[in-house]
Structure 1
């Protein structure tokens, strides 16, 4: 009998909501933590950085909670009084930033933490306030709508923003997203699979924006890697919808090399059981997923042998341990982005005397608790992910995350 889908009323919608929200540091080669060298190339790169000395005279007073006393002022915009989970996530991001400031030292930055209330109006007002107070850069906001609301004031003033939204559409020149963009995880999974001989893939995707993003990136990646997305089915979070989706691609699955199921929670096991109950032999098919599978029941027999890409969890474990020791709670992975970002801008400020865009766009990239990453000129983020295989009910790395980027020097 197929697994009951009633649990999807909460778990399924929570996964969709998370996808919507998510909709060093320092040069590669450094270790994570407070003693990470900034990673500019050793040659003439320093000459390209125009230090931005502090303006003479007294500094304007800042509004918000202030951490540190450095010459470079940076604002951190968070939904501290936001509704729902926003305030909880904001508190974690704030704690991560405080942890990072303890590592870089109070003289590295003056970090001004501002509450956006989780609204577009609040984000726009906080950004304008940061401009008026002479911030060299803005970190955050978290939600894509708030990022867009904060952009005009910062762009007109030439102040870079490093936000935490994973909505690729919110990025722009000077508006960088230090986030886990879903496109990157999909690409890593499918490029690894095609490198192992997978050519034809069927995708079974949830309705909504998360499914749209996964489908678009799957088509793009497979086309460039020599594979083919032979069929796509969509489902809602109920039994009838999943049965219908599986039935619509049953013949395509039988002819394909792999089935791509990017959703997490109960979705992978439920979809796989539906396929087997429908008479589809999956013994010669490779199951493919994403980092969302870390929320799935990897002990399910039907998921053994599957591949999916995700952040190197062993590396993140060091951050989680330090956070829990300091604040007494288990942090989310998202909060590690705030830690890495504060370390990043602190090290840029030390090397450049400000936060110039060409330092943020360093092609060598940066390395932090969340792995290696770099920003493109259009504001998007490229990250290094590991590939895992489900073995004996657990995820084990079969292709490690890269330690450097191709094309970086």
Structure 2
């Protein structure tokens, strides 16, 4: 049996659920450069906002000279990985401002310290200073803390948490909600004839989310999740999980293993070592598989959904050329959000809900996405097949949304 370890290189669609933050681990280096110094707004003078309300001078680092003010709330002095990912998000915002034009926005970067108190204070400052929209915070608890001040002033927020429970009308999440990638993988598989699926999932909240969405998707597609087993990160628990669903595995069309790291290969190897023939059964995963060893023979032919890596790699190359380090996928969310907000501001119509919730959505480095009425995000994912140790697209991400909210 292969050794099972908890995934550590890409805290992607599942391992970041408890904090509501995607991709804090592994790919963020110990020292994240902040880029070139940016001009700051004068500290002594105020100017009217775009709706002619007086506003206070900006508190925080100011980037850009546009008439529309947006606040970016980040845990710049937060503990551990929080501060490092905040540095990446800030860098991504600087790169976006270069692209959208410094005259499109006045972007005010505010430090939350990674705490609920800091998020509440920063949101209150943003409102008092006349910010037309707020980007961030990161953590779900901080989104909850910041939301009341913004809701009272009807200031929209685009946060980066992956906890859909904190979304609400006017509080949008530009993140990778784990339900979406599960739905894409299983709906594609169902379209290829998969009708019965056994799900082998990690214990905890991540497994709960994966199970609920897997059941919903298969039911909607005319199929069924015939059995579910849970494991902890030790080989004995994997053995017991496989044993409990052995009979269902023998008759299933597919096995769904959404976790990453060594989990997919360990689980599939355990299935075969238990004497269960998986020939003809499809192995299904999620974008977490990018942290797995795709060269492992047991994963060949497996399918999983993920963001379009061609776009992501283009972003990473640009970021590295500018800041000298490879960024995480999470940072691209800040880039896309700043470009989105800058383009809306240049249009002159303000941040009305119909502008943010446009059914056609937006296209960015993270792919096609749109904000729904309840504040959650719908994304267009590609489906990959593992071939000769590499992930190759077998069903491209959609170029446009073809149905209304």
TM-score of the superposition, structure 2-length normalised? 0.90
1:294–1:135 Cα change, 3 Å: same
Unmatched 5+ stretches in structure 1:
24-51
Q: Are residue 366 (structure 1) and residue 362 (structure 2) matched?
A: yes
TM-superposed deviation, 1:283: 1.0
Quick check: 1:72–1:353 contact (8 Å CA) kept in 2?
no
- After TM superposition, the structure 1 stretch with the greater mean CA deviation from structure 2, 348-357 or 308-317, is 348-357
Aligned to 1:254: 250
- Alignment-derived partner of residue 80 in structure 1: 76
Pick the aligned partner of 2:269 from 265, 273, 277: 273
CA–CA separation in structure 1 for the residues paired with 2:225 and 2:179: 16
CA RMSD, Structure 1 to Structure 2 (Å): 1.8
Mapping 1:170-189, distance limit 5 Å? 170-189=166-185
Contiguous gaps of at least 5 residues in structure 2? 22-47
1:228 equivalent in structure 2: 224
CA drift of 1:187 comes to 0.3
> Residue 30 of structure 2 aligns with which residue?
none
Alignment-derived partner of residue 34 in structure 1: none
From the superposition, tell whether residues 17 and 68 of structure 1 become closer, same or farther in structure 2 (CA, over 3 Å). same
**Displacement of 1:239 after TM fit?**
1.2
Assess, with a 3 A threshold, how the Cα gap between structure 1 residues 56 and 359 changes in structure 2: closer, same or farther: closer
Report 1:166-205 matches (<5 A).
166-205=162-201
**What is the 5 A alignment of 1:318-337?**
318-337=314-333
Matched residue, 1:3: 2
Q: CA offsets per residue over residues 283-329 of structure 1, 9 Å max, x none?
A: 11100000000000000000000000000001111111100000000
Deviation at 1:355, TM superposition (A): 1.7
Q: 1:290 aligns with which of 281, 286, 291?
A: 286
Contact 1:131-1:154 at 8 Å conserved across structures: yes
Could you tell me whether the CA contact under 8 Å between 1:74 and 1:110 is conserved in 2? yes
- Measure, in 2, the Cα distance between the counterparts of 1:141 and 1:13: 18
Higher relative contact order (CA 8 A, sep 6+): 1
Q: Which residue in 1 is equivalent to 2:300?
A: 304
Displacement after TM superposition at 1:53 (Å): 6.9
Aligned pairs, number: 379
Give the structure-1-normalised TM-score: 0.90
Q: How does 1:319-358 map to 2 (within 5 A)?
A: 319-358=315-354
- Matched residue of 2:180: which SS? helix
- 1:129 equivalent in structure 2: 125
Query: What secondary structure does 2:345 align onto?
Result: helix
Corresponding residue of 1:386: 382
How many angstroms does 1:354 deviate by? 2.4
SS in 2 for 1:288: strand
Say whether the 8 Å CA contact 1:12–1:266 is kept in structure 2. no
1:277 and 1:112 mapped to 2: Cα distance?
Answer: 57
Q: What's the CA shift string for 1:73-115, capped at 9, x where partnerless?
A: 0000001111111011100000000000011111100000001
